[in-house]
Amino acid sequence: MFNTTPQVSSGKSRPEIDLLLACASCHLDSVRTERIKALTHGEIDWPAVLRAALAHRVMPLLYKSLNTACPDKVPQAVSKQLQSCYYANAAHNLLLAGELLKILRLFEGHNVAAIPYKGPVLAALIYGNLTFREFADLDILVRERDYDRAQHLLISQDFRLVKEFDWESTLVDTRGRVAVDLHRGMAAREFPSPLAFEYLAGRLQPVDLVGTTAATLCPEDTLLMLAIQITKDSGSRYLQLAKVCDIAQLVRVYPQLDWAQLLRQARRLGGERMLLYSLRLTNDLLGTVLSQEVVCAMRLHPAIDGLVKHARRQFFDQGDRAVADQPTVEQFRWLVRERLRDKLYPYYLRYVTDVLVPCELDRQLLRLPGRLSFLYFLMRPARLVGKYGLLLVKSKKRSVG
């Protein structure tokens, strides 16, 4: 039922995908090394391998694995491109790590508690090396009450706000080199994210970051965070192999994880199915060996194998082609939610938003000065009651007539 060696997605084996999966690790044992050597002996479409590695953000792992296993089998032009990408990524990561430490010191100086996760601290925690992971920005979680103040602190340091959502905002420095995703939650409110700031803050783990100690998520919470990220991205164009590699690496470097306790905690938080789905996907693609506790828990969630099958196709089969039976993002999220309240919450949230949040039509019907804009929140329910009440009266009149 469970794989112990890297697998291709389905159908006819493609050596390019086989090679990418075999190289998607910073730890090469003898079996994986021989697999890479055997694959590079055959015909390889190297541009296709490079495109896939760039798309899935695993170029550093591809470079390291090929350079270790069989550097003489890689075409010189491909080797130069890989090396160039590897060192450019290393320089970029060191820059971002330094900027992260500056921001954390800024927040600490203004009594804003912050938890960095993903990015440099994730690379340091599970890979022990900043150069083995690609990341484009810095993710920082703060308390809800500190969120606006944290934004203003970043803006005071020459960052500008470029995007804002209900759970996060993106700020970029004036030179465009550093992007910060400032979070008050790990995902949109309609997506069940069981990891809240107060829960995480008491479980942090120190990690060495370019000679300085920073506090980030402990391995158990990092695993849940990665499971949330993979599940959130499933069914969308954002699903990447790099996050699956992160889970495989975490499981390898932290063999002492208490799986029974971790599963109980995930179940209590409403994230067990997300965790199991991500672990099963990692097992399927990269051959990560799963504990007996995880295997037993998966038997209670038979839908997971179907979700993994669709995710495999999303990774490697469909390309730009639409797959008729591929679940949408909403369908993926419905299937992976395990609690009824989490399944229904997005729909209730949408209903409440439609009723209470003013729209452009409300503002066009009556122009109010800024200091009175709060009245739109009172007007909208009244307008909707009047609108649909009038329609109901007209309908009754027609039925009587």
Q: Where are the domains of the chain?
A: 15-344, 357-400
Kind of pairing between the strands at 212-216 and 179-183: unpaired
Residue 339 neighbours by CB distance under 10 Å? 15
Sign of CA dihedral 61, 67, 70, 76: positive
Which residues lie closer than 8 Å to 15 by C-beta, 6 or more apart?
39, 42, 43, 44
In single-letter form, the type of residue at position 160 comes to R
Contact 199, 115 (CB under 8 A): no
Question: CA-CA distance, 171 to 227, in Å (whole number)?
Answer: 25
Kind of pairing between the strands at 114-117 and 205-209: unpaired
Query: Tell me, what's the pLDDT at 383?
Result: 63
Query: Tell me, what's the pLDDT at 303?
Result: 84
pLDDT > 70 in the chain, percent: 74
Question: CA-CA distance, 381 to 117, in Å (whole number)?
Answer: 40
In this model, does residue 14 exceed pLDDT 90? no
Mean pLDDT of all residues belonging to the chain: 84
Question: Which has the closest alpha carbon to 251: 193, 208, 294?
Answer: 294
Sign of CA dihedral 374, 377, 378, 383: positive
Least confident of 10-19, 144-153, 376-385: 376-385
Question: CA-CA distance, 301 to 17, in Å (whole number)?
Answer: 28
Domain 15-344 has CATH 3.30.460.40: yes
When pLDDT is cut at 50, 70 and 90, the band that residue 121 belongs to is very high
Contact 191, 274 (CB under 8 A): no
At which residue do the structure tokens 């912050």 appear? 114
When pLDDT is cut at 50, 70 and 90, the band that residue 370 belongs to is low
Vertex 291: Cα angle to 275 and 16 (nearest 5): 70
Question: Which has the closest alpha carbon to 32: 288, 250, 257?
Answer: 288
Helix (H, G, I), strand (E, B) or coil at 306: helix
At which residue do the structure tokens 């508690």 appear? 113
In this model, does residue 389 exceed pLDDT 70? no
Question: CA-CA distance, 242 to 244, in Å (whole number)?
Answer: 5
What is the Cα Rg of the chain in Å?
A: 24
The beta strands (E) that lie in 37-187 are given as 114-117, 138-142, 159-164, 168-173, 179-183
Contacts 24+ apart (CB under 8 A), 279-282: 279/227, 279/247, 279/251, 280/2, 280/304, 280/305, 280/308, 281/230, 281/244, 281/308, 281/311, 281/312, 282/244, 282/247, 282/248, 282/251
- Token pair for 41: 């002996």
What confidence tens digit (pLDDT) does each residue in 15-74 have? 999 999 999 998 999 999 999 999 999 899 999 999 999 999 999 999 999 999 999 999
